[in-house]
Structure 1
């Protein structure tokens, strides 16, 4: 009966009230509305979440105890973030279209600054594979703080930065405008949201970051994406749409903002969905856990 009710709710657009992934009666809880535009949430090992306020050039921290604090000013206009096994923040530093490594004490190191001498469009989101390689998306969004008015790159691609290297390689160029990106914990598959063509694809990850066997995962694109322990994919945009491993939508999490940019699982038990949505950040108590 529960599955039948869920199917009916999805077909009639009432799935917000019946969700197999959120805790019973859970709703998006406003944490703060003090930002210009929030992005890039990423949890550390303890479950604290770091996120960016890109227009204000800042990285913030939301602790497992519910406290907000400013972690870093002058953050390279960072967008997407991911935390490596050593606790460093790897950031898509949008000011000069670089990748940065930010140590726990705030020390910054540029780990990638160009592609074959050309400035990238604007690294947007990233995921670190189990062996340390970095996949990142490179769409072009004109920024008002850039002096340039067009990109140096042809097309908008997915790149892979091998461990210990400073030059990325092209991982995929068969996408119109890649945005959100996340891989499975076993390192076998990579999901990429094509916000330009309203589709999300899944690739098989091979040796040296090679991607193959692209399939259309679902006919919906979006901004940031993340995965839970059941293999469900969360696609941000108009709230958060949740798709099971077969690409079937099973839930929608409403967020009372004009745009939901990104989300990740945080908290001590990884069962709190932390959401960056325009000028605000929210949390939702979940019935599942994340895999970041």
Structure 2
């Protein structure tokens, strides 16, 4: 009897917690599925980051301080280790051919990782003969080529490698061509670029300047250069994603959603001090997968992610 009473109290607490969180969701346009609840899939990590979705809807994400990449299987809702010794990978993104691109900041490189074997290849070791600051987030455009942000977040494991001072002359965004023969800067006027994502047609790029607490919108030219820089919203972000309606999802204190005009339309609270990143997963791309501190969460959505 006593055990049942305790179980009832625990269940009641969980239900109240879920109800309380659900009640806190601000959703002006109905982006979240009706009666959806934020579900903690697993905790026990140190700091989760960089979720990326493959064709099957599975999510690969990093535990950056522990130097590991994990895989969440959409069909089973199970998490397994994909790669140990991951170059301190941070942001991840899949190319159309299934290659996993990683911002590996152990030695400030960009990696291409075979999804089947886990074998990595360094595709960007440096820029103009100097180490990058620390590649952070990546977006691969549909027509080929990729963009990545290069802010400076001094890491304790850099001691003995390069210290804590930038070798580059600032914190910039870079473009790497599809054949990997060209690497050049596409922004040189941002404070601390971090999150990055583009539209599925490849014509628009969003870059979050977390240092300036702003997110910018650019037109993407065929050669990879950017033009028509426009303020999107007065908020920076760690990670970013986009849905099929053109809504942009920013992270930090939970997940904040803006429509394509930069108007805030939703806020999803997450029970963590910091929400690092977000992506849509599962085959139908209606499961939002959130990395937040030591745990990862899912939330069922009405909107659908793009790939």
Matched, 1:23 2:29: no
Name the counterpart of 2:45: 35
SS of residue matched to 2:175: strand
User: Secondary structure, in 3 states, of the residue corresponding to 2:168?
Assistant: coil
> Contact 1:244 / 1:250 at 8 angstroms: preserved in 2?
yes
Q: CA deviation at 1:145?
A: 0.4
Displacement over 6 Å in runs of 4+: none
Paired with 1:130 and 1:149, the residues of 2 have a C-alpha distance of 35
Q: State the distance in 2 between where 1:263 and 1:40 align.
A: 8
SS of residue in 2 equivalent to 1:274: strand
Cα separation, 2, equivalents of 1:14 and 1:254: 7
Q: Secondary structure at the match of 1:140?
A: coil
Could you tell me how far apart the structure 1 residues matched to 2:27 and 2:101 are? 36
Aligned to 1:4: none
Matched, 1:125 2:140: no
Relative to structure 1, the CA distance from residue 18 to residue 187 in structure 2 (aligned partners, 3 Å threshold; closer, same or farther) is closer
CA contact (8 A) 1:136 1:181 kept: yes
Partners of 1:36 and 1:196 in 2: CA distance? 24
Output the CA distance in 1 between the equivalents of 2:119 and 2:156.
Answer: 26
TM-score, with length taken from structure 2? 0.89
Find the residue that maps to 1:145 and give its secondary structure.
Answer: helix
8 A Cα contact 1:28 1:254, kept in partner: no
> CA shift at 1:280, angstroms?
0.5
Deviation at 1:222, TM superposition (A): 1.3
Q: Distance in 1 between matches of 2:259 and 2:180?
A: 35
Q: Is the 8 A contact 2:27 2:266 kept in 1?
A: no
Residues 18 and 206 from structure 1, CA distance in 2 versus in 1: closer, same or farther, beyond 3 angstroms?
closer
Aligned twin of 1:95: 106
Which 10-residue stretch deviates more, 233-242 or 83-92? 83-92
Per the alignment, residue 140 of structure 1 pairs with 152
Alignment of 1:139-218 (within 5 A): 139-147=151-159, 148-165=163-180, 168-218=183-233
* Count of aligned pairs between the two proteins: 280
Question: Who is 1:84 aligned against?
Answer: 95
Q: Does 1:113 align with 2:125?
A: yes
Please list, as runs of the form range in 1=range in 2, the aligned pairs for 1:244-255 lying within 5 A after superposition.
Answer: 244-255=259-270
Q: Does 1:291 align with 2:306?
A: yes
Secondary structure of 1:207 counterpart? coil
- Structure 1 counterpart of 2:55: 45
What's the CA shift for 1:19? 5.7
| Greater shift in the superposed pair: 42-51 or 79-88 | 79-88
Q: What SS does structure 2 have at the residue aligned with 1:87?
A: coil
What is the TM-score of this pair, normalised by structure 1?
0.93
Contact 1:115–1:167 (8 Å) recurs in 2: no
Give the structure 1 partner of residue 249 of structure 2: 234
Residue 224 of structure 1 pairs with residue 239 of structure 2: yes
* Residues 30 and 18 of structure 1, relative CA distance in 2, 3 Å threshold: farther
